[in-house]
Amino acid sequence: MGLSRRKLIANVAAGAVGSLASSPASSETVTGEGTRQAPVPTQVPTDRRPADHRALEVLHGYDMRNGLTPRRLTMAMWDVAFALRHGPGGSFADFDRVLDEAVEREYNTLRIDPMPQWIDYNNPDRVLEWPDPHQPYMPWLWNAAVRGPVGSWVIDFMEKLRRRESLYYTLSGWWFGPGQPTSPRAGTPALLRTPVNMVEGAEMWATMLTAWKKRFGFEHLVYLDVANETPYFFPHQMERFKKETGEEFDRVRSFSSALIALLANEINPALELLRREFPELRFTTSIHADLRWLNVPLELDCLDVHFYFDGDPRWTERTRFDEFTNDSLFETDRWFAEFSHRSVSTAAAMAPMLRARQRFKMSQFADWAVRCGAPLTCSEGWTSWFYVDNPKLDWGWLLDWAHCSVDDAIAFGFWGWTPHNYVQPQFANWKDARWHRALNERFLHS
């Protein structure tokens, strides 16, 4: 089996599907002992006939973005790193500094994970602990041991964000936890609760939002993403789908009627629960730019679609991306030089073709967005989902692609855009404020 779009450490606990009982709330760290390393699913290369573009023609007469605030979102994905890299020496140690730098670079929307599975905002001083994950090449998340009142750190961050009038934010859930194939095997804190489906996940969000509203209100909260990249990150969702339909999400070229029904019945009730409780907010679940989704009858308030090259087998085959990222990902750099050479060579030979295919996908999701009345964003993308600062890795081709993606996002009427999924202060590219500012201003003034 290939790898997922983000194989963050595939250590699935033995018998994990049968151990979905809620965990007690404590500061205890649950380790990954007894786990086995296993790959998580890759994207499936998909295609479909062009949609009826009459919906896009309607866009010329009415643009829903004109009624939204902000009218354009320049987005920075800060996941859990904003809190778990807040310790001494961490890239987010100084909240005032990184928030000011975001403003300087013309970012107006920060995508953060408030970790509802771990943090009780009615008891924010509870001390949580993460062991050292021993992942020296981890680009985001946490890369060192963490111990502290993380809930209080998030509150401090939010209070400082709210003082900056130009900054907005979205909330998104990665749902890291023990036994999750996306969590480091070194261990994580015990969970407040383990949701067995997205409705239970929505209940956890509702509990968190009630405390959040009392503390911060909802001003400048643009939308809430119930689960990042469904179904890859929500607890044990992939296993459940296979068990209930007999289909592997990452193997089938098109969704069966059974899987379409299952996806709709998993997602829509969760969003309905949240809309009934919080009518003043917008809700969605983020997805890959997988054209199979266009056949699923979802009721999303907005679309956050992540466009990556590993959805195109011509890129993965040339770069050997799946093979390399299955070789001690985040732990070794032994394949970095070859991956970099292959990426540069592939871009030189195939950039126009890769861009044409990506543009077609963008057009299809843009059409879906207009037909459903759900403005379209891409809060992480557009090339390789794994890259890190390292002398063996050439960033030139990846940074060049940002100039393509901003033009294409403008052309297809995106509400939100990001240059890549490395918009965090630990990256060398972050230091180039002029680079970020030029691209963001281009999108903001479109």
Give the domain 55-444 fold.
Answer: TIM Barrel (3.20.20)
**Phi, psi dihedrals of residue 106, rounded to the nearest 5°:** 70, 30
pLDDT digits (tens, 9 = 90+) for 189-212: 999 999 999 999 999 999 999 999
| pLDDT score at 43 | 60
Give the number of residues written for the chain.
Answer: 446
Cα separation of 124 and 41, whole Å?
A: 35
Q: CB atoms < 10 A from the CB of 29, how many? A: 17
pLDDT band at 252; cut points 50, 70, 90: confident
**Cβ(300)–Cβ(284) under 8 Å?**
yes
Q: Is the pLDDT of residue 442 over 80?
A: yes
Q: Is the pLDDT of residue 21 over 70?
A: no
Burial (0-12, 13-18, 19+ Cβ within 10 Å), 61: exposed
| pLDDT score at 28 | 46
Average pLDDT over residues 161-180: 94
| pLDDT score at 6 | 40
| pLDDT score at 42 | 60
pLDDT digits (tens, 9 = 90+) for 43-69: 666 656 666 666 566 556 789 999 999
Element (H, E) at 109: strand 109-112
**Phi, psi dihedrals of residue 29, rounded to the nearest 5°:** -95, 130
Cα separation of 149 and 27, whole Å?
A: 10
| pLDDT score at 70 | 98
pLDDT digits (tens, 9 = 90+) for 395-413: 999 999 999 999 999 999 9
Give the Cα-Cα-Cα angle 134, 137, 139 (nearest 5 degrees).
115
Cα separation of 292 and 145, whole Å?
A: 39
Q: Is the pLDDT of residue 25 over 50?
A: no
3-state secondary structure (DSSP) of residue 399? helix
Higher-pLDDT residue of 344, 250: 344
| pLDDT score at 184 | 80
**What sections of 128-197 are H helices per DSSP?**
150-162
**Cβ(401)–Cβ(307) under 8 Å?**
no
Cα separation of 405 and 418, whole Å?
A: 9
Place of tokens 């909240």: 95
pLDDT band at 179; cut points 50, 70, 90: confident
Q: Token digits for 225?
A: 């993403």
Average pLDDT over residues 86-103: 97
- Per-domain residue ranges for the chain? 55-444
First to last CA, the chain: 42
| pLDDT score at 39 | 52
Work out the percent of the chain whose per-residue pLDDT is above 70.
86
pLDDT band at 187; cut points 50, 70, 90: confident
132 secondary structure, DSSP code? -
55 secondary structure, DSSP code? H
Cα separation of 64 and 413, whole Å?
A: 10
pLDDT digits (tens, 9 = 90+) for 289-306: 999 999 999 999 999 999
3-state secondary structure (DSSP) of residue 220? coil
pTM metric for this prediction: 0.88
**Cβ(242)–Cβ(305) under 8 Å?**
no
**Phi, psi dihedrals of residue 256, rounded to the nearest 5°:** -75, 165
Whole-number average pLDDT of the chain: 89
Lowest mean pLDDT among 23-27, 56-60, 140-144: 23-27
Average pLDDT over residues 119-147: 95
Strands 109-112 and 168-172: parallel
Q: What is the layout of strands, in order, in the sheet containing 416-417?
A: 283-284, 221-225, 168-172, 109-112, 73-79, 416-417, 376-377, 303-306, 287-288
Q: Is the pLDDT of residue 415 over 60?
A: yes
| pLDDT score at 251 | 84
Average pLDDT over residues 419-436: 98
Cα separation of 330 and 418, whole Å?
A: 23
